[in-house]
Structure 1
Amino acid sequence: MLKKLFQSFRPPLRGQHRRTTPEVINQSQHSLQRSQFSRHAVSIVERLQSAGYQAYLVGGCVRDLLLGIAPKDFDVATSATPEQVRAEFRNARIIGRRFKLVHIHFGREIIEVATFRAHHSEEDQGDTHRSSHNSSGRILRDNVYGTLEDDAQRRDFTINALYYDPVSERILDYANGVHDIRNRLLRLIGDPTHRYQEDPVRMLRAVRFAAKLDFGIEKHTVQPIRDLAKLLREIPPARLFEEVLKLFLSGHGAIAFEMLVDLQLFEPLFPASAQALDERPSYTHTLISQALSNTDLRVKQGKPVTPAFLFAALLWPALPARSLFLQSQGVPPIPAMNEAAHDLIAEQCQRIAIPKRFTLPIREIWDMQERLPRRSGKRADMLLDNPRFRAGYDFLLLRESAGEETDDLGQWWTDYQDAHDSERRDMIRELGSRDDGASTTRKRKRSGSKRKSGGEGSFD
């Protein structure tokens, strides 16, 4: 599968995707119809054009409709500045500082309008007082406006540099994007190393688009990624959180994970989990892959997904070793687990800013793994009533599917949920009898010797 995604298509002739005039694709030459686009987005384009500005539907909505995919968003690009756009629409609001945009609200639908951007000049990059780039080449500010041609050349991938005019119903293609869509090929516009240095998140976008669209990545586009992966450490953690959600909650998370690992992008995002992947490759890979496959299935079925469960799975393989180390230092099992969980999440948040509304459920899911084995008396029924039981139970099944030995704990809980009250009482009594027998056996084995402090926890 990965070989298919990292393809070696013969690239167009040098400079072929750098047009100063676009290829104009007329209505009879493409499959798009204006009725497929948001009527609000179309009305914005028409109104801006009537006011004397250039305006087009652009990017993902054009790309997706050419591929037969229903777009999630409809974006507009225009020659009007943000202030000029706001003057045309009462329901418009300017957002952003690094990259100024206008959001135009139509009830729940928001149409994003961006002014044509241009590349920054070398003089601007070299002036440390007003530089828009940092020392690694990353863009810090991006409010240099330009022409339509400038805007096309500064977009990331050729398939995103397509402009649709709903008035004339023509597509303007400045970067051979239609050619690459037909060949299902992802290609950066410009020099890949320079473009990744401008914005390292483009490496994650390459993975996301390739996974989502089932496209190959052109060889020159993929070649620098492994060497530049470390640049992701410079990206603000809050931005990386949003990008990781797009990667893993889009319905194509399992293949995205494989590509991240192969391109050495996983370690800058999840350093502790990457270490666990090196130390326990089969278990870690199976658990994370299975969690992402389950998430992909839920997305396809239209079921809700929660980032908390997914992050719990992504980080869990790094937790056992930390807890066991603390136990070796004399910390009892449950406090060791709690301290290890706290430290692991705190470290992870330095790379990816996971909000507190998710870190708390992560801790609760992990805590359930310690509580689910303790079922005697009324504990089982109390656990069933716990609002985190279902997530904890699902996580237990996930651990078992990755090969963890739990003495059939998952099956026991499956049976207990389906059992009647009398059957549940029998299950608890049987459990008590089994524990009594096991306790007697342990006492016989330990006679004549002192029991060691601490314990092995539930990670064996």
Structure 2
Amino acid sequence: MIKIAKKIVKVLQKNGYEAVFAGGCVRDMLLGIEPHDYDIATSATPDVVESLFKHTKAVGKAFGVILVRMKGVDFEVATFRKDGNYSDGRRPDTVSFSTMKEDAERRDFTVNAMFYDPIKKEVIDHVYGISDLTLKTLRFVGNANHRIEEDHLRLLRAVRFALKLDFELDPSTFEAIRRNAYLVNRIAPERVREEFVKILEVGKPRRMMDLLFSTHLMQMIFPEIVALKDSPQYFEYHPEGDVLEHTILVMEKLTNQKMEVQLAGMFHDIGKPDTLKFENEKPTNKGHDRIGADTVEWIMLRLKFSNDEITLVRNLVADHMKHHIVKEFKKSTLKRYMALPYINELMFLNKADFLSASGNMEHFEFLKEKMNEFEPEEIKPIPFVNGHDLIGFGLKPGPVFKILLDEMMDFQLEDIVINRKQALKVLKEKVNLIS
């Protein structure tokens, strides 16, 4: 890919224009990381770029951005620009084409504002980005408050890059984020969600929580999480500490799981502060799974997650305490539990939950053994009887259908009836009693 990007730069330079690699790819190259893509910045205007290359697409021509396709790969080629005012806290109202230095000065962080000339093999740094790379410091370009006012999402991007690069926030950058944290609530919920998911997927939950708390962004985005801090737990079951510490430990064990499972780990005990009571001076949180399910649904609705994502996370939070009583389930209840469409995700969550508390894996191992003991067709068998059989016995469709069929499935799961003939006999007797 770099060879193709270099060829685009070469074409632009041969025609008398400045052209360089720009932004994140330069940062990654200097850090010894293979860039995922290469963005190109140039003094050539969009019209000139379109005239010099055969396959182009004007994806953001008003902002000076042209997509150039070469050998099946797309590259963003952007004209050096200077941004006007940002009245919406997201995009500049106007842009004007400018110099390379002015283009660097409009960017977010110094480490993302460097250029590289692949022909001369020269780094061009107008904002001391190399120094910040060396010091492992994330710093806004120029005035930190101005950068945040221009695009409020930079509040969260700062957290993401600090995590991703394992950099410290420059003191002026940190203070500006704290001071302007309230602006995150002026960002469209969808954009907050997308950026937060990227932060979560970096896979460093402890530092993520620390940064979100210390910058006051947590208080703005997830005030419900703030209540977990210092919320007590019964020491015998939770020697690790308060609910927040337990939550972080759970999240640390789920970093390789899908996004919904990670979110369930973050929110599985979100209902504990609202259900906290003391019995014989011991903290209890009865019903926190139910309250937590309602709370996480509201949080995810607030951030415009999809219905499927909300349903899965809600179910995981609602059911995460059932692992504690699996030994008490009758066979049919146990099989229904193991047949849940999200049982694998629930197993991941509960394993992390147990390991992050007392470490007692007895109930988890019991369920794991049962899942290996039963064949899939035993856990979720084809029903021996159905609604057509009820109609055949002269029963009219209605709520009683579900009651009878659920009861018959329990009999089947309990091995009380072992074939269709037996099931039909039992079902007919029940219909006769109703009639």
TM-score (norm 2): 0.71
Q: Give the whole-Å Cα distance in 2 for the aligned partners of 1:278 and 1:113.
A: 50
Task: Kindly indicate whether structure 1 or structure 2 has the higher relative contact order, using CA contacts under 8 Å at least 6 residues apart.
Answer: 1
Residue 99 of structure 2, aligned match among 147, 169, 177: 147
| 2:241 maps to 1:289 | no
**1:378 to 2:332 alignment:** yes
Candidates 299, 303, 306, aligned match of 2:258: 306
Partner SS, residue 263 of structure 2 = helix
User: What is the SS of the residue equivalent to 2:229?
Assistant: helix
SS in structure 1 opposite 2:78? Answer: strand
The partner residue of 2:36 within 64, 72, 78 is: 72
Question: Is residue 83–residue 95 contact of structure 2 (8 Å, CA) maintained in 1?
Answer: no
Query: Which of 337-346 and 286-295 deviates more?
Result: 337-346
Q: Equivalent residue for 1:316?
A: 268
**Alpha-carbon distance in 2 for matches of 1:382, 1:401:** 25
> Where in structure 2 are the equivalents of 1:224-239 lying within 5 Å?
224-239=176-191
Give 1:273's aligned residue: 225
Q: Describe the shift of the 1:133–1:379 C-alpha distance in structure 2 as closer, same or farther (beyond 3 A).
A: same
Aligned to 2:314: 363
Q: By how many angstroms is 1:229 displaced?
A: 0.8
Tell me the CA shift for residue 324 of structure 1: 8.9
Between 1:107-116 and 1:196-205, the stretch displaced more is 107-116
Of residues 397, 400, 405, the one that matches 2:354 is: 400
User: CA–CA distance in 1 between the matches of 2:129 and 2:44?
Assistant: 24
108 and 141 in structure 1: CA distance in 2 versus 1, 3 angstrom threshold: farther
Q: Secondary structure at the match of 2:228?
A: helix
- TM-aligned CA distance change 1:340 to 1:403, over 3 Å: closer
Deviation, 1:100, is 6.3
Matches within 5 A, 1:19-418: 38-95=2-59, 101-105=65-69, 109-120=73-84, 125=85, 132-134=86-88, 139=91, 141=93, 143-277=95-229, 279=231, 282-296=241-255, 298=256, 305-320=257-272, 341-342=293-294, 344-350=296-302, 352-369=303-320, 372=323, 373=325, 375-403=329-357, 408-418=362-372
Counterpart position of 1:28: none
- Partner of 1:451 in structure 2? none
User: Could you say if the C-alpha distance between residues 393 and 149 of structure 1 is closer, same or farther in structure 2, counting changes exceeding 3 Å?
Assistant: same
Structure 1: how far apart are the matches of 2:94 and 2:246?
40
1:457 aligns with: none
Taking a change above 3 Å as real, the CA distance of residues 146 and 291 of structure 1, as seen in their structure-2 partners, is farther
Choose 282-291 or 242-251, whichever is displaced more: 282-291
- Is the Cα contact below 8 Å between 1:287 and 1:398 reproduced in 2? no
Report Cα offsets for 1:274-302 as digits up to 9, x if no partner: 23336459443234323442344x3xxxx
Structure 2 counterpart of 1:430: none
Deviation at 1:257, TM superposition (A): 2.3
Deviates more, 1:152-161 or 1:311-320: 311-320
CA distance in 1: counterparts of 2:206 and 2:73, whole angstroms: 30
Bigger drift between 359-368 and 156-165 goes to 359-368
Q: Is the 8 A contact 2:271 2:295 kept in 1?
A: no
Measured against aligned partners, the alpha-carbon deviations of 1:75-128 in whole angstroms (never above 9, x if no partner) come to 2222334454345445433335996643445688543333322142xxxx4xxx
Deviations 1:194-250 (A, max 9, x none): 222222322322222222222222222222222211111111111112211221212
Q: Residue 168 of structure 1 aligns to a residue in which SS? A: coil
Is the 1:89–1:104 contact (alpha carbons within 8 Å) kept by the matching residues of 2? yes
- In structure 2, the partner of 1:440 is none
The residue type paired with residue 204 of structure 1 is: L
Q: 2:91·2:151 contact (CA, 8 Å) conserved in 1?
A: yes
Q: Residue 306 of structure 2 aligns to which amino acid in structure 1?
A: P
Per the alignment, in what secondary structure is the counterpart of residue 365 of structure 1?
helix
2: CA distance, partners of 1:82 / 1:240: 31
2-structure distance, mates of 1:64, 1:412: 47
Cα 1:112–1:287 change in 2 (3 A) is farther
Gaps of 5+ in 2: 234-240, 278-285, 380-435
**In the comparison of the two structures, how many residue pairs are matched?**
359
Q: CA deviation at 1:57?
A: 0.8
The alpha carbon displacement at 1:153 in A equals 0.8
Is the 2:114–2:125 Cα contact (8 Å) retained in structure 1?
Answer: yes
How has the CA–CA distance of structure 1 residues 321 and 86 changed in structure 2, closer, same or farther, with 3 Å as cutoff? farther
Q: 1:152 to 1:407 in 2, by over 3 A?
A: closer
- TM-score when normalising by structure 1: 0.67
Structure 1 residue identity aligned to 2:353: R
Amino acid at match of 2:154: R
Task: Say whether the 8 Å CA contact 1:119–1:150 is kept in structure 2.
Answer: no
